Structure 1
Amino acid sequence: MDAQIQADSPLKDQRNHQYAVLLSTMRSGSTLLKALIASTSDIAHMPEVNFQTVLQSSKKRSELEAAHPNEKTLLLKRPAWFHETKRYPIVPGDFPVQRIILIRDVYETVRSVGRMMMGKTFDRFPGLWGQKLIAKRYWTPITKNLLQHGQSVPDQSLTVRYEDILREPEKETLTIFRFLGSEQTEGVRSYSMPENFRWKWGSDDGSPRIKSKEVLPPRDLSPTDQARKEIICGLPSIQKVRIAAGYQN
């Protein structure tokens, strides 16, 4: 994580609720991270919502606040869609909004996005060609946007890598809790199933892995996947963004 954390949240004011948004590409672990963050009692666990609509509507905000009277922080999540490469993220509102910026390395992201679209057949056709296309046209511009967005509002942003969450979940989540001004004093590696909605494949996650209710180690890549990853990571435009995101190899 690359933001300076202060004990008191910069969003503390006279409002009863404060807003935070979880910004990411699709298939970057946002469902897992949202579940971990919302495992504490003062952060609301909500289904995926379009924060770009909610934050600019006083009516929608009032409805959310009424539905969550006891949770101080309302955490809104909605990853970037394919057509948003030039404008995601937009965080409207005339009040401070905290941003948790989630980054995941390119190959694991595009492989998962392809499978989300077409299942495992994507690995065979369009295969590497399709993965390159997603990497160039989706992962690269969105990740670049996310990094620039965090730099534009450094006092209200915290950037975290998915791989760090899998490696040290307690450390990473404790940093997030402090950033959000949560009363939670310990990091977590497990979480509960949401009570008021169901995870769905294609919007949240819904896979058996997320339903384990704990952080699991990453899967090993097959030799074919490892070879494809080296090809994609070696592309100059992608390599530049990976280095900016802290992926050196």
Structure 2
Amino acid sequence: MPDILVTIKDGIGVVTLNRAEMFNAVKLSMWRELADIFSNLAHDDAIRAIVLTGAGANFCVGADVTEFKVIRENREQSTAYEVSVDACSAAIANVPKPVISAISGYCLGGGCHLALACDFRFADTTAMLGIPSAKLSIVYGVKSVQRLLAIVGIANAKRMLYSAERYSAGHAWGMGLVDEVSDDAVGAAMDFAGKLAQNAPLSIAGAKFMLNGLSLGEGALDVTAAQRLIDRAADSDDFREGRRAFSERRAPQFRGR
């Protein structure tokens, strides 16, 4: 069985971590494969939104620590490993489409890393989220710390990283780490993805690019690139379709161009 499954339903791509027997722990090869998968989905015009989830009862327990004695034994190996991890999170964050993580059970360490790179985090009542790096003498990567800070604020980010505690879905929702809690995280994520998929792709791509850049602090946003996205939408067929649909009081049919 493949470690990662990709399916498409009604314009929504579903990426599933598929190591249920290992609580969906992510191997180095999987970090690299995920980067390729999300990069490909980014360029697939048939995909309007993406849901990231895990097989079985858990989203992702984190990186596969059993590999570390071979692939992360020293500083050089750790640096190379983090390059692959950051490339994965960048590929997820940079997809110009909504990405929603659907979280059940464990979402720890590297699992949180994946969830933080998504636009939204939907959890069910079994979810337990945390970053146990302080129990492994690992310093969480810069990009993930930036995303954590932007999402939960400095006090909660410090508490999570210093304490290595696990948080229930309700507690995580109160911190802002989780956006919605329901009995069925995947179902809720798919419903939300379906709603977003009906909106203008160029509008979402532009908003996502700007919000991601602005959230990471001064100088992170490429203003020139942001203006290109604004101009592209202003010149698009979708903009004209949106105006027509508004005046005709009907649902617009957007095509991403």
Give yes or no for TM over 0.5.
no
In terms of fraction of residues, the more helix-rich structure is 2
TM-score (norm 1): 0.32
Structure of greater Rg: 2
In terms of fraction of residues, the more strand-rich structure is 2
Greater relative CO (CA pairs within 8 A, separation 6+): 1
